[in-house]
Chains A and B, each alone.
Chain A
Amino acid sequence: MDLHLMQAIATGEERAAVDEVLGPPASGWHGGDRTIELEGHVGYAGRAAREQRHMLLPALQALQGRVGWISDGGMNYVCQRLSVPPAEAYGVASFYAMFSHEPRPKTVVHICDDIACRVNGAEPLIERLERALGPGRSGGLVRSPCLGMCERAPAALLQSAGHEASDVSIGEVTVEMLHPFLHGGGWIESPSGGSLGSQPREGLRLLRRVGVVDPRSFGGYRAHGGYDALREAIELGPEGVIREVKDSKLLGRGGAAFPTGVKWEAVAKQPVRPHYFVCNADESEPGTFKDRVVMEEDPFALVEALTIAGFATGSERGYLYVRGEYPRATEMLSNAIDQARSRGFLGRDVMGGGFSFDIELRRGAGAYIAGEETAMFNSIEGKRPEPRNKPPFPVTHGLFGKPTGINNVETLINVLEVLRMGGPAYAATGTPDSTGTRLFCLSGCVERPGLYEVECGTPLRDLLELSGGVRGGRQVQAILLGGAAGGFITPDRLDLPLSFEGARAAGVTLGSGVVMVFDDSVDLVDIVLRIAAFFRDESCGQCVPCRVGTVRQEEALRRLVDGDEKGSRDRDLVLLDEIAQVMRDASICGLGQTAASAVQSAVKQLHVLDRGGRS
């Protein structure tokens, strides 16, 4: 591609960082040194160069990781290496919140100010940190949406750029813990133990290895039933696996509740090759941390489950797209993939079963919308993670335009249970329409926040009781189900059965399994405003209803809260409803379609705006 590059030149460090990901440049025509004897009469580019576009995000991450920001020179070099126009690369780079386009301190604290952390003292913490840092180091402190550590709120992600680029996420953060990090080195690991809730271990199926098996140990995983399911799958053959999954009536846990077996079968039947399978591990819904815990504590299970999915759908390549804010999950998965590969459980002739499958681990870089499946394909392809129009659906036109299966982490690890128990036996658990167990992320004002696993259909009340109820003996004011894209319910609805059909009948959604409890001391108006701000910030801006609607929703809310209505209070309330309807009806993807649901439920069910403004 003919590139109109910028004038800026990459530093040696920047080039080295990019070369580490992409390998050395092939010639001077692609950013290497000019060796005119070799390239004065020949140059290779074309498809070979353009087909590397999917390495754009990893290359940008290499720059960010090494020098702490993405300079014009560094970007120029990446563009030259990958044959991507700078304007397009900038469009991609500027989409992601974890990239900085201005010089920034090498060590940066991303501190979560999202809803679960707000009710656990995030704002006072940030204030104290700002005071401790002083104005000179303000670039080193960045507010972040939910970091997925809600069970140990408030949470922070510590990034240090350099040769040994390393990110660490910590929970139950205090100023004292961060003090050494902000002044040049180290931090104090937070004292708290695991992320599991306090339920009895006998109840655990999906989580039975969590906290028991060393997540780094391939042997440990095998000793606890690891790779039994893949062996079973190879014996059943692809059609057999799909039959079991269909018999199990397993529904997708990502939010849409699509039958997993049906999806797999559709991909497997596509005549177009190759097929791909993607694991959506870009868990970003505020309040959600279930996938993180699974990936951190039982990474081999996900690798095995993804391998089975690849086998069943005839895919030879799987992509595991893990959230950029999950350094420990990334590390554990990377280790698990490497070990599986070196032992013949990935690569050619997997497990001697005569099929090939390998997994490429991709990291996100801070974009909620990248969790939407088609946006994720674009992200992997090195484009802006904007959702695509559907149809065509991923089963026919997915990653790189090829037939693609995509499931989230929880769905995939359920397949191990399906194969362990057999499809019909699995279908006998839970409720008839919601089979199996589900993972719930309890956070907010509960006694023992953490990850809980209960059979589908369990009443919400029982789940709350497992977690010890509201902390400090206070009263429940409201419960947020399904995260920012879900909705609030009032405390008189604790008999709600936690199943797809139960939720549907009650007009709520379980979404990604968020159960966030707010006691009577919480300022719900503040929570609702944060949710509105979240959607305004995360809207990709591609379609008008969402781009404009999320902004207008936040503005109208703020006016209503501040008593600064345009015209009249009623008019702004009507406006809020109309914005909600337009976003719901006319947005391209789920983000816009649900951007008003929590706000609407807070206004309609909790009457948060009827309380005469903020105290």
Chain B
Amino acid sequence: MVGLATVFGAGGGTSSYEEIENTDLIVLWGSNARETHPIFFHHVLKGIRNGAKLYVVDPRRTTSAEWADVWLGIDVGSDIALSNTMAREIIRAGLHDPAFIRIGTSGFDDYAASVEPWTLEEGERATGVPAEVIGEFAHAYARADRAEICWTLGITEHHNAVDNVLALINLGLLCGHVGRYGSGLNPLRGQNNVQGGGDMGAIPNKLPGFQDIQTMPEARAKFERVWGCTIPPKYGWHLSLMFEAMERGDLTALYVIGENPATSEADANRAKHLLEGLDCLIVQDILLTQTAEMADVVLPAAAAWAESEGTVTNSERRVQRVRKALEPPGQARDDIWIIGEMARHLGRDWGALTPRAAWDELRSLSPMHHGMTYERLEAMNGIQWPCFDEDDPGSTFLHARLWEEDPQRRGAAAPFSVVPFEPPVDELSEEFPIRLTTGRRLDSFNTGVQSGLYSSPLRRKEAVCVSPEDAERAGVGEDERVLVSSRRGKIEAPVHVDRTLRPGLAFMTLHFPDDVDTNALTIDAWDPKSGTAEFKASAIRIDRIEQPAAAAGGGGGE
């Protein structure tokens, strides 16, 4: 979100799902949408059915990659190298879009100079993908009439997450694949309302509607008038900074709503330790998470879906109404009620809060939401922002302005970014020779807080997935328990021999922290621009556990 906001001024996917169905080329870059965004993948499938080609960039040959016309199995963390190599090839072949570059972008010359060393051979060396395959991909992307790049955590869960995103945006700018129907740049969101959270200002540098806290004083003043308070004119802390502040002792009280940082954070041992050291930990959640178990106060919340009223905003920026169908169980309360009560107990009476009143206040303060009345949201089955007034149908895709001839209407150009390639922080060595990457599976969600409640015929117990070659080298077979160690911790896990991995690449999920605490291995190196940790790249080793004869053969139970 930070990358898109930096370049375009708004942190949202630029295209609609409908455009994925009607584009000519789809790139899933660092995304196994088949399993992790299965609903979005239905739109991809429709696109494929309508004739789109699919390229998947992923270290693993995932189930998404099995659908791809071409799978590019890059080495973990070499995304920028791939992007820069493609850019050089596109420019060299004259397949970029000089007309768009001239009017809609800035900084092309510096960018072109920066990618010049990235020959196809250099790209092959850095990514592992054969030079001719990179070349073919570059040409296919540049020549497509319409092309969409979609990415997820494979791009953002790196120490240089924002640079990764900027590298993808560069490609879109280079070929004019943004701001047009069927051409765009789309981060896929992991939950129904991740987009909405950011839109509503639940990020440390923006007020609702992406109005900057530091650089837009008049916007800040507008909020201060309506809210009757002073807003500190500086950016707040994102999650990684919060943990650093806890470490320094600057942050001593934490109010956690719908998150489970005790297990979802990289280097989980450190995270737990820091949470334990807080003076006050309040957790508001629909379930008693591991974090909630550590809390001083737990506030049981109603489910946002089916038990409460309001709106959510999905990955295509579509604001949709959600409605209450059930009374929440027991003492669980609506989030908005709990927050209102918190305020009242802290000495601020906001009166009887309703979702609609909150929404109408938002509409008065966030221009891009202004035209979205509850009535219109209902009548139009949701509206995509920006929607500036009540005649505005909303926006199927963003940034069409960049193509305007009139500089006034065109507004600020979208800058190219010079992005240097930096390999993952946790280096491979003789001691830790295997690259561990993490991810999710179809039938589980993150730490399993929500999905663990349900049984699934597909679910398999947590295991460290290794290539057949590495399993053989370590002398272990399917289901045998091994010791997995990184520079930060050691865990035991059963082995799953996985043909989709090449030698030197291992994979784990974080779905079952009680069985296998994967995040004890991961590194908390994080991107200073977004605060996202490098879950996707750790260096590990795998050792066979010599078991006494009696205990052997049991495999790993759940």
Contact = CB atoms under 8 A, between A and B. Distances in A.
Interface of A: 1-3, 28-29, 34, 36, 40-48, 83
Contact of A47 (B53, B72, B468): B53
Given A43-B70, A43-B71, 6 more contacts: A1-B67, A28-B499, A36-B467, A44-B70, A46-B69, A46-B70
B502 A41 contact: yes
B133 A42 contact: yes
Nearest to A42: B133
Instruction: Identify the 8 closest CB pairs spanning chains A and B, nearest first.
Output: A46-B69, A2-B63, A40-B502, A43-B71, A41-B73, A2-B66, A41-B128, A41-B129
B65 interface: yes
A601 B69 CA distance: 56
B43 to A, nearest CB: 17
A40 B34 contact: no
Contact of A2 (B34, B128, B467, B503): B34
B129 A45 contact: no
Contacts of B173: none
A43 B469 contact: no
B68 A41 contact: no
A273 to B, nearest CB: 15
Contacts of B69: 44-48
A41 B73 CA distance: 4
A136 to B, nearest CB: 40
Contacts of B73: 40-43
Contacts of A48: 69
Interface in B413-471: 467-469
Contacts of B70: 42-44, 46
Nearest to A46: B69
20 contacts: A1-B66, A2-B34, A3-B66, A40-B128, A41-B129, A41-B133, A42-B71, A42-B130, A42-B133, A43-B61, A43-B65, A43-B66, A43-B68, A43-B70, A44-B69, A45-B66, A45-B68, A46-B48, A46-B67, A46-B68
A46 B502 contact: no
Residue of A41, A45, A48 with most partner-chain B CB within 10 A? A41
A45 B130 CA distance: 17
B54 interface: yes
A254 to B, nearest CB: 32
Contacts of B502: 36, 40-41
A36 B130 contact: no
B74 interface: yes
Contacts of A28: 499
B539 to A, nearest CB: 19
Interface of B: 34, 48, 53-54, 61, 63-74, 127-130, 133, 467-469, 499, 502-503
Nearest to B51: A47
Nearest to B35: A2
Given A2-B63, A36-B469, A36-B503, A42 B72 contact: yes
Given A1-B66, A34-B468, A40-B128, A45 B503 contact: no
A2 B503 CA distance: 22
A8 to B, nearest CB: 16
Contacts of B468: 34
Given A1-B66, A36-B502, A41-B72, A46 B34 contact: no
A272 B13 CA distance: 36
Contacts of A29: 61, 66
A40 B502 CA distance: 5
Contact of B503 (A3, A40, A43, A44): A40
A41 B66 contact: no
Residue of A29, A40, A83 with most partner-chain B CB within 10 A? A40
A343 B84 CA distance: 54
Contacts of A3: 66
A43 B69 CA distance: 8
A434 to B, nearest CB: 45
Residue of A1, A29, A43 with most partner-chain B CB within 10 A? A43
A99 B357 CA distance: 67
Contacts of A44: 69-71
A465 to B, nearest CB: 59
Contacts of B503: 36, 40
A2 B41 CA distance: 13
B54 A46 contact: yes
Contacts of A36: 467, 469, 502-503
Contacts of B469: 36
B53 A42 contact: no
Contacts of A2: 34, 63-64, 66-67
Residue of B54, B63, B67 with most partner-chain A CB within 10 A? B67
A2 B65 CA distance: 8
A550 B72 CA distance: 53
B23 to A, nearest CB: 15
B119 to A, nearest CB: 17
Nearest to A36: B502
A1 to B, nearest CB: 6
B504 to A, nearest CB: 9
B310 to A, nearest CB: 36
Nearest to A44: B70
A3 B54 CA distance: 17
A29 B502 CA distance: 12
A48 B70 CA distance: 10
B57 to A, nearest CB: 11
A41 B469 CA distance: 15
Contacts of A1: 66-67
A42 B56 CA distance: 10
A41 B130 contact: yes
Nearest to B59: A41
A397 to B, nearest CB: 15
A34 B133 contact: no
B53 A46 contact: yes
A22 B98 CA distance: 45
Given A41-B74, A43-B73, A34 B68 contact: no
B6 to A, nearest CB: 31
B128 A45 contact: no
A42 B129 CA distance: 7
A486 B547 CA distance: 75
Contacts of B63: 2
A607 B127 CA distance: 81
Contact of B71 (A34, A45, A47): A45
A47 B69 CA distance: 6
Residue of B71, B72, B128, B129 with most partner-chain A CB within 10 A? B71
Nearest to B64: A2
Nearest to A29: B61
Nearest to B132: A42
A1 B64 CA distance: 8
B20 to A, nearest CB: 16
Nearest to B127: A41
A91 to B, nearest CB: 20
Contacts of B467: 36
A29 B73 CA distance: 13
A83 B54 CA distance: 15
A26 to B, nearest CB: 13
B85 to A, nearest CB: 13
B36 to A, nearest CB: 13
A38 to B, nearest CB: 9
Nearest to B69: A46
A21 to B, nearest CB: 23
Contacts of B74: 41
Contacts of B68: 43, 45-46
Nearest to B458: A4
